[in-house]
Amino acid sequence: MVVPFVYAFNILNLYFFMFRIMVLLILKTKFERERTMDGIIDIKDLCFRYSQENEKLDLSHVDLHVNEGEWLAVIGHNGSGKSTLAKAIDGLIEPESGEIFVDGQKLTEESLWNIRKKIGMVFQNPDNQFVGADVEGDVAFGLENQGIEREEMHIRVKEALQVVNMQDFAKHEPVRLSGGQKQRVAIAGVLALRPKIVIFDESTSMLDPEGRMQIISLIKQMNREEGFTVISITHDIDEASLADRVVVVDDGKIMGDSLPEELFQKGNELIDLGLDVPYPQRLKFELNKRGIQTPSEYMDEGSMVNWLSRSILKN
């Protein structure tokens, strides 16, 4: 029978897993430098490479300015360096050169933990960021790290779960949750910490359509109603279209910085940039192929529907 083997290996694997986390947590990133700036995030001439042996920089002379209260979408195909950029902002990786300022404070070894309090991050894989034994335990994890008093924790956990509409699941274990629900818990964990900036690192890419739409509308609510500065790293056209500004990353460099509607006009080029082509744009392309002229400016779905129905129904 193979079952005992599997058990044995799994136990082995579990020890290996625990050991691995311990090692990773002991290796901490190091920084030095300081000064102050205006925007909520300012990045100057940032360079990074994962390994000294790499000839190419994984982030190459990145300059980026993020305004307070803004929703910035960062797009780029897989492996373009966009997630690396997000990790750099939170001090999760150590840059080779360049400077990062968050809320007027320079990212250094001393300021690192203070800066992390201002930034919440939601990652891609719903399973690999769920630390707690149950939902409320997971939301509380960040609060425990900050040494918040228990009474205060209970209030904040409850509030945060209400915002993401998971209050009925407080005692649920992660196995009993869908991917979308786990991501909502991750967002609650961020909300409970009351940061100024929230970074979503492909947080919707592993979800089903329903979960995806729920997370996107939560991000929207957080940005529009609750004033969080949002950076969303994404391939999702719906997510990107809600942003105030879109930055394109390719090959570790920032290749473009534009309003969503400007960017969306690029049509099929977008696929190479790691984004879907917006539907109205695709339809325009097919119409043009059939000899129908369409307005040259970008139209979202609503205006495209209006334009088409007007053109068809007016005669």
Partner 1 sequence: MDKMLLGRYINGESLIHHLDPRGKLFLSFYFIVIVFLCNNWETYVLMAAMVMLFVKLSDISLGFFIKGVRPLIWLILFTVLLQIFFSSGGQVFWHFGPFTITDQGLINGVFVFCRFVLIIFMSTLLTLTTTPIEISDGLESLLKPLTKIKVPVYEIALMLSIALRFVPTLMDETTKIMNAQRARGVNFGEGNLLKQIKSVIPLLIPLFVSSFNRAEDLATAMEARGYHGGEGRTKYREQEWRKNDTLAVILFIALTGALIFLRN
Partner 2 sequence: MVKSIHIEKLNYVYQSGTPFSRRALTDVSLDIKTGSYTAIIGHTGSGKSTLLQHLNGLLKPTSGSLTVAGNHITSETKNKELNELRHHVGFVFQFPEAQLFEETVLKDIAFAPKNFGKSDEEAEQVAAKMATLVGLPDSVLDSSPFELSGGQMRRVAIAGVLAMEPQILVLDEPTAGLDPKGRLEMMEMFEQLHQEQHLTIILVTHQMNDVANYADHVVVMENGGLIANSTPERVFSDPDWLHKHHLGLPQTTAFAAKLAKQGVPFETLPLTEKQLAEKLAELMPQSGGELHG
Which residues of this protein are in contact with partner 1, per CB under 8 A? 1-3, 5-7, 9-11, 13-14, 16-18, 20-22, 24-25, 28, 87, 90, 92, 113, 116-117, 119-121, 123, 125, 127-134, 136-137, 140-150, 153-154, 157, 173-175, 189, 193
Nearer to partner 2, 208 or 226 (CB): 208
Query: How many Cα atoms within 13 Å fall on the side-chain side of residue 287?
Result: 13
Binding mask 72-91 for partner 2 (x = CB under 8 A): -----xxx------------
Q: Report 262-291 residues binding partner 2 (CB under 8 A).
A: 270-272, 274-276, 279, 282-283, 286-287, 289-291
Binding residue for partner 2 (CB under 8 A) from 10, 54, 221, 306? Answer: 306
Provide, rounded to whole angstroms, the least separation between the CB of residue 1 and partner 2. Answer: 13
E-assigned strand segments in 204-299 = 229-233, 245-250, 253-258
Tokens of 219: 């991000």
Q: Angle CA(262)–CA(90)–CA(159) in degrees, nearest 5?
A: 90
First to last CA, the chain: 76
Strand, helix or coil for residue 129 = helix
- Do residues 99 and 44 touch, judged by C-beta distance below 8 A? yes
Q: How many CB atoms lie within 10 A of CB 191?
A: 25
Provide, rounded to whole angstroms, the least separation between the CB of residue 143 and partner 1. Answer: 7
| Interface with partner 2, residue 315, by CB under 8 A | yes
What type of residue sits at position 80?
A: S
Q: Using CB under 8 A, list all residues that contact partner 2.
A: 77-79, 178, 205-206, 208-210, 235, 270-272, 274-276, 279, 282-283, 286-287, 289-295, 301, 304-315
